[in-house]
């Protein structure tokens, strides 16, 4: 465990110990099912911890509330930095809560590669939604995870659903080559765009456009409204060139203003249309099952990696073999094979 991870785990332990009540699995599960946001926040803090004892407790809590999860619509929201994700989400969230829809926001902030820390400023940027009684806003560090997501985003989604939240909004760090990971944990993938930022079609990678269920040109207000309409039309034309999707959904391209709220309700209508169509043709449930399988595989790989590096004999040989690879005395493949053999021998000797 790195110094930053160790410090984070100690901080979480101090946080949990500082609470007046010694929360058990039953207490946490009961509080979550009652919709207690303080208990929900504590449970998410547990799943984000790197300590084994915290992970074990979190696993038991998730297992207890799992039958009550899965009833929300999960919406991933991404876009380049400066596109106005936080402003859009606050406007979108306020529109939902005004209709009586309980809304949770899992906002992921980028972690520094140097200090490993995060500003976690999304809650400040969504100051109105943060105090809404029908909303729950949780900023979390990406902690180096790919795809602009946190290391416990999937678990956090389940906990929020068990707490009764009907819409889960997952705000990602930004557009990147690994953004498909977000798609693997949400039902509806919304891509926010800017107008006037250069060639509208070349502005993003085709792969991300093909993943999006809706492309929305944000900041369509004032003099920028005309440019936004032109950009949306350009994206609409580009989407028509893509082959028909397996789920038979035709991605939409529209405009909105997170600042003044125009176009926000139309986006919600699109999400509802998407859910209705996907439910009727069976793709909604199919996608959820596929995501669960992917989650299982990811966890197996993560646990195998952790088990591999936990072996003292592997740690003892790692630096030497790494140096040989760096110095060109051994290929990375040969180095990995040698370490794997050392690992397997260690496992055999333990059994």
Taking the C-alpha atoms of residue 225 and residue 221, their distance in angstroms, rounded to an integer, is 5
Domain-embedded: residue 285: no
Task: Give whole-number Cα distances, 259 to 220, 232, 250, 335, in Å.
Answer: 9, 18, 27, 54
Domain-embedded: residue 287: no
Q: Among the three residues 21, 41, 68, which one is the final residue of a domain in this structure?
A: 68
* Domain shared by 166 and 273, yes or no: yes
* Domain shared by 59 and 191, yes or no: no
Is the pLDDT assigned to residue 330 strictly greater than 80? Answer: yes
Is the pLDDT assigned to residue 344 strictly greater than 50? Answer: yes
pLDDT tens digits for 100-123?
999 999 987 654 333 333 334 455
Report pLDDT for 10: 57
* Domain shared by 247 and 178, yes or no: yes
User: Which one has a higher pLDDT value, 304 or 197?
Assistant: 304
* Domain shared by 231 and 93, yes or no: yes
**298: closest CA among 90, 101, 147, 124?**
147
Give CA angle at 256 (254, 257), nearest 5°: 165
* Domain shared by 64 and 76, yes or no: no
pLDDT tens digits for 214-229?
999 999 999 899 999 9
Report pLDDT for 1: 53
Q: Among the three residues 49, 68, 87, which one is the final residue of a domain in this structure?
A: 68
Domain-embedded: residue 44: yes
Is the pLDDT assigned to residue 20 strictly greater than 60? Answer: no
pLDDT > 70 in the chain, percent? 80
Report pLDDT for 177: 47
Taking the C-alpha atoms of residue 155 and residue 43, their distance in angstroms, rounded to an integer, is 10
Q: Among the three residues 280, 312, 338, which one is the final residue of a domain in this structure?
A: 280
- CATH assignment of the domain containing 336: 1.10.287
Report pLDDT for 351: 78
Domain-embedded: residue 2: yes
pLDDT tens digits for 29-68?
999 999 999 999 999 999 988 888 888 999 999 999 999 9
Report pLDDT for 17: 53
Report pLDDT for 141: 61
Instruction: Domain of residue 13: give its range.
Output: 1-68
**Do 182 and 157 form a contact (C-beta atoms < 8 A)?**
no
* Domain shared by 174 and 84, yes or no: yes
Report pLDDT for 146: 42
- CATH assignment of the domain containing 163: 3.40.50.300
* Domain shared by 88 and 10, yes or no: no
* Domain shared by 76 and 37, yes or no: no
* Domain shared by 40 and 137, yes or no: no
Structural domain count of the chain:
3
Domain-embedded: residue 93: yes
Confidence of residue 201 (pLDDT cuts 50, 70, 90): very low
Domain-embedded: residue 288: no
**First-to-last C-alpha distance (Å) of the chain:** 25
Domain-embedded: residue 342: yes
pLDDT tens digits for 67-95?
999 999 999 998 888 899 999 999 999 99
Confidence of residue 6 (pLDDT cuts 50, 70, 90): low
* Domain shared by 197 and 78, yes or no: yes
* Domain shared by 176 and 273, yes or no: yes
Report pLDDT for 113: 35
**Do 75 and 278 form a contact (C-beta atoms < 8 A)?**
no
Which H/E stretch holds residue 4? helix 3-18
Domain-embedded: residue 134: yes
* Domain shared by 315 and 213, yes or no: no
């Amino acid at each position: 465990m790195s110094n930053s991870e160790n410090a984070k785990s100690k901080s979480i332990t101090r946080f949990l110990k500082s609470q007046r009540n010694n929360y058990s699995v039953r207490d946490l599960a009961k509080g979550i099912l009652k919709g207690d946001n303080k208990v929900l926040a504590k449970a998410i803090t547990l799943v984000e911890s790197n300590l084994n004892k915290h992970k074990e407790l979190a696993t038991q809590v998730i297992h207890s509330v799992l039958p009550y999860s899965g009833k929300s619509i999960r919406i991933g929201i991404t876009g380049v930095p400066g596109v106005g994700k936080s402003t859009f989400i606050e406007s979108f969230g306020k529109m939902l809560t005004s209709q009586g829809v309980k809304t949770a926001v899992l906002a992921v902030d980028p972690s520094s590669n140097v200090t490993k820390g995060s500003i976690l400023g999304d809650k400040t940027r969504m100051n109105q939604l943060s105090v809404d009684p029908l909303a729950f806003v949780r900023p979390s560090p990406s902690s180096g995870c790919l795809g602009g997501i946190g290391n416990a985003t999937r678990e956090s989604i389940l906990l929020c659903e068990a707490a009764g939240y009907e819409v889960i909004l997952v705000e990602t760090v930004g557009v990147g080559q690994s953004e498909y990971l977000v798609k693997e944990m949400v039902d509806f993938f919304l891509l926010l765009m800017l107008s006037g930022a250069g060639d509208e079609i070349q502005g993003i990678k085709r792969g991300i456009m093909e993943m999006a269920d809706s492309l929305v040109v944000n900041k369509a207000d004032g003099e920028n409204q005309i440019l936004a309409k032109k950009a949306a039309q350009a994206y609409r034309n580009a989407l028509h060139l893509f082959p028909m999707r397996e789920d038979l959904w035709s991605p939409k391209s529209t405009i909105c203003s997170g600042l003044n709220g125009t176009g926000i309700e139309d986006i919600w209508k699109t999400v509802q249309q998407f859910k209705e169509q996907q439910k009727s043709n069976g793709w909604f449930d199919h996608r959820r099952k596929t995501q669960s399988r992917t989650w299982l595989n990811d966890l197996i790989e993560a646990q195998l990696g952790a088990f591999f590096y936990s072996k003292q004999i592997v740690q003892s040989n790692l630096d030497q073999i790494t140096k040989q690879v760096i110095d060109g005395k051994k290929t990375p493949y040969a180095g990995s094979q040698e370490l794997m053999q050392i690992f397997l021998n260690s496992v055999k000797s333990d059994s």
